[in-house]
Amino acid sequence: MVVDIGLSDLEVDRIFHALADATRRDIVRRTLTTDATVSELAAAYSMSFAAVQKHVAVLEGAGLVNKKPQGRTRIVRADAQTIARAQQLLDAYTQLWTSRIDRLDALLADDEN
């Protein structure tokens, strides 16, 4: 079984690299339910504005959030479509490994008989 959901290897690498950091996962979580400015996000962490801005840039590069200008600020919103595609990839891997385990169980059951 080939796992293909329309994401390139580079896109998958970027998504999971971005999600490997707890702060970035929290930013995605916060912006799934409500838009936030980078300043609002920065206020929630004990790091500099520039550090939060870099985290947002990594998430944006992975397609996990979008930034849109609104006056002098930038509004950050999670991209639910990209998150859903990552979930589809994980679901495909779950299905792949479950089917392999089921086949192994069947082989072992045949050996016992």
CB atoms within 10 A of CB 95: 12
d(CA 42, CA 57) in angstroms, rounded, equals 13
**Which residues, other chains included, contact 1 with Cβ-Cβ below 8 Å and sequence gap of 6+?**
95, 96, 99
> Virtual CA dihedral for 37, 63, 22, 43, nearest 10 degrees?
-10
The 10s digit of each residue's pLDDT in 94-106 is 888 888 888 888 8
The residues that bridge with 65 in the sheet, in sequence order, are: 78
Question: Which residues of the chain register pLDDT less than 50?
Answer: 1-2
Q: How far apart (Å, rounded) are the C-alpha atoms in residues 19 and 26?
A: 9
pLDDT at 4: 62
CATH no. for 9-112: 1.10.10.10
What's at 24, amino acid-wise? R
The per-residue pLDDT for 110 is 79
Question: What pTM does this model have?
Answer: 0.81
Q: Kindly list the domain boundaries of the chain, sorted by start residue.
A: 9-112
Expressed in percent and rounded to 5, the helix, strand and coil fractions of the chain are 65, 10, 20
